[in-house]
Amino acid sequence: MKGPTDCVCSEAISRCVGACALVLSGWMLSGSLRATELPLHVSHRMVVPSTTRVSGIGFDAAGAQAYLATGAAVTAFDATSFRQTDSLQLPAAAVAMAIDQEGSKGYAAIAAPAELVVFKLHPLHIESTIPLHDGVPAALLYASSEHALYVLSDASSTITRWDAASGKRSGQVRLSGALGQMATNARGTLYVANTTANAVDAVDEHSMKRLGAIPTKHCVGPTGLAMDPIGRRLFVSCQDGARTVIDTDMGFTFESFPTGTPGSSQMVFAMHPFGAGGWKGAAFNAGGNGELAGLRMNAFVNYSAGGTYALDGKVQAIALNVPAGQLWLALARPQSTTTEANAPAQHVELLVLTPSKGPTP
C-alpha cells in the first residue's frame, strides 16, 4: 500500500490537491485512506426534461427501468438505452420518492397538499393518495422487510410509519434535532441521521419508540445514511466531509475517514455494486459539495477510502442500480458548464456512472 504522500495526479490538479489533503488529514484514523480517483466514468449523461429538482431515483427489481421523480412528474427510462418509456403526472411536486421493487409500486411524497401518492410502476399510474396530517413531508423511506413507509417531517420533527399494504398510519416517533437520511436494518430498527445531535437515532420499527442514539464519532453533522443488506453496517456521511462505518450490533464506530470535502450528502450502499468481480461492497455519498466519494468494503470489518470523483454541479439524488452495474446521479448544473447547447440556464443532468477500464469497483 502506498503512503499518504503517494497521490497520483492523473487529471485535474485541483481534484488531486483536494484528495491529497483529505488523505493527509484522514490518515490518522484509517491507514488505508489515500488519494485516489474513483474508478468510474460517466457512461451516459442527459438533461432531465424538467427545470425542477430531482427528488428521487429508483429502479425496478431487474434494474431494467429507472424512475425519476422531478417536479410533479415521475418519468420512467430504459436503463440500457436511457430512452423515456413512461411518465406519470403527480398532483404536485414531489419532495421524495421510494420504490417497492417486489411490489412494483412507487411512493411519492408531495408537500402541497401533504400527501403520499401510491403509484404502480408498470404502467405508471396512480393507485391511491393518502393524506398526511403530520406535517409537510421532507423524506421518505420504503422498508421492504416491514412493508412499511416512513415519512419524515422536518416541521414536526416526526417520523410516521405507514403500512404499505393498507395505507394506514401505524405509528409515529418524535425526535429532536435536524433529521437527515433514514435507513433500516431489516430486523426491526429504523435509523435516522440526526444532524444537530451528531448522532444516529435508533427507533424500534414496531413500537416506533426511540431506542437510543449512536454518536457519530469523528463525523460532525451526519446527513447521509445507508445500511448494508445484512443490517449490521451503517454508513454515515457528515457535513464536515467525514464518513464513518458503524457496527450497529454494538453501536460502535470502527472505521472513520475523518476529512473530506464538507457539505451535506446522501449515501447509498450495495454489495458488489458493479458485479461479482469488483469490490465486495461500496458506499457512495454525494451532495451539494460537487464531489462523489466512495468507501470500499474490503471485508465486513475492513474498509478503505475508495476515492473521489469531482462533479461539476450539486447532486440532488443518488441511487445504485446493482443489476445493471450503474450509479445514477441527478446533478444540478449551471449553464456555463453544460454540454448541451440548448440546455436551460440552470438545469438538471442525469449522470450514469459505470466502472472504468482497469480496477473495477
Partner 1 sequence: MNRLLLSFLGCVAAFGFSPASLQAAPLPWSALKGKPLLFVTGQTDPGEPNDDTLVRQHLEQLGFKVTTADATVSPSAASGMSLIVISSTADAHDLETKFAQTPVPLFTWNTFDYPNLGMTGRQLHQDFGIVDPIQHYAESFSILYGYGANTTSAISQAVGLKPQLFGTLYLEPGTIGWANPGPGATVIADFEGKPQRAAVFTYERKASLADGAIAPARRVGFFLADGNFHLLTEVHGPAANDPQALQWAVGRKLFDEAIRWAASPPQVVQPYDPTALDTRLKNIAHGKKVLFVERVNAGEGREADEHTVAHLRSLGFEVTIADQTDPQTRADGEDLVLISSSCSKYKLANRYVDTTVPLITLEGLYADALHLAGRDRYADYGEHGEEKESDDPPDNYLDIVGAWNPMAAGLPAGLVKFTEHPGVLKWARPTPDAIVIATLPNSPNERAIFGYPEHAVMADGFIAPARRALLPLDNPSFDDLTAQGHALFDAVVLWTVSGKSP
Q: Which stretch binds partner 1 (CB under 8 A): 50-58, 72-80, 243-251, 308-316?
A: 243-251
Decide: is 5 part of the binding site for partner 1 (CB under 8 A).
yes
CA 341 to chain centroid, in Å, comes to 30
Residue nearer to partner 1 on the CB measure, 185 or 285? 185
Number of residues that bind partner 1 (CB under 8 A): 30
Decide: is 213 part of the binding site for partner 1 (CB under 8 A).
yes
Closest CA to 96 of 49, 164, 142: 142
Contacts of 68 (CB under 8 A, 6+ apart): 48, 54, 56, 57, 74, 75, 76, 77, 330, 350
Cell numbers 450528502 correspond to what residue? 265
DSSP code string of 151-195:
EEETTTTEEEEEETTT--EEEEEE--S-EEEEEE-SSSEEEEEET
Decide: is 249 part of the binding site for partner 1 (CB under 8 A).
yes
Candidates 247, 262, 271, 278; binder of partner 1 (CB under 8 A) is: 247
Q: Which stretch binds partner 1 (CB under 8 A): 197-205, 290-298, 306-314, 341-349?
A: 197-205
Closest CA to 138 of 105, 172, 109: 109
Decide: is 8 part of the binding site for partner 1 (CB under 8 A).
no
Question: Distance (Å, rounded) from C-alpha 19 to C-alpha 17?
Answer: 5
Question: Distance (Å, rounded) from C-alpha 146 to C-alpha 165?
Answer: 10
Decide: is 251 part of the binding site for partner 1 (CB under 8 A).
yes
- The CA angle 141-102-153, to the nearest 5 degrees, is 10
Q: Please report, as residue ranges, which positions from 135 to 154 form the binding site for partner 1 (by CB under 8 A).
A: none
Smallest distance from partner 1 to CB 7, Å: 13
Residue nearer to partner 1 on the CB measure, 132 or 182? 182
Decide: is 200 part of the binding site for partner 1 (CB under 8 A).
yes
Decide: is 189 part of the binding site for partner 1 (CB under 8 A).
yes
CA 340 to chain centroid, in Å, comes to 26
Residue nearer to partner 1 on the CB measure, 101 or 302? 302
Closest CA to 157 of 137, 171, 143, 141: 137
Smallest distance from partner 1 to CB 339, Å: 40
Q: Which stretch binds partner 1 (CB under 8 A): 69-77, 172-180, 213-221, 267-275?
A: 213-221
Decide: is 248 part of the binding site for partner 1 (CB under 8 A).
yes
Residues near partner 1, by CB under 8 A: 1, 3-5, 27-29, 31, 189, 200, 202, 204, 211-215, 217-218, 247-254, 256, 301-302
